[in-house]
Structure 1
Amino acid sequence: MPDAVHDADVTRRVANRLKRAHGQLAAVIAAVEDGGDCRAVVTQLAAVSSAIDRAGFAVIATAMQECLAEDDGDEGRARMAELEKLFLSLS
């Protein structure tokens, strides 16, 4: 499958989302190591998970748009089926 994250705007948004998740994850790790409140840890962990999921969905959505635009018969349908599996793996 070709690299789906080639659009500069999509790349920037996905990278920003992952950078925020990276920062949130660092805060979660620090809170766990420092014996932080479990509710706060779980809340931050949920935020990290959501940010990563949204980044994955953005990458897959872009790839699906490209597949629809290319629509090259059996090969396009096979790529779309592969992307659907990736999408479902995030849900």
Structure 2
Amino acid sequence: MNELNGGGTLMPLISSIAFAVVGLIAWFFVNRASVRASEQIRLLEALLEEQKKQNAILYQLTQQVAGGEQQQRDDEQDPDFTRLIPER
């Protein structure tokens, strides 16, 4: 009877349960944020790898175009000497 009237043991039990519930809710949100951050990091790393591949392809293409332009310049600068020599 004394336990029901005084409530001496009931109040610490309720407060510890409330504290545990609040702790579980806080853990849920922190864990959720951590999982989202990990997912974003994984996606950013995948984007970085794709960007590196695209940069390598772009570099190869620019080298091919620059090589073709250099070849055209060399052809234009080196005239065909057979045109300069008169035929006999």
TM-score (norm 1): 0.39
Structure ID, larger Rg: 2
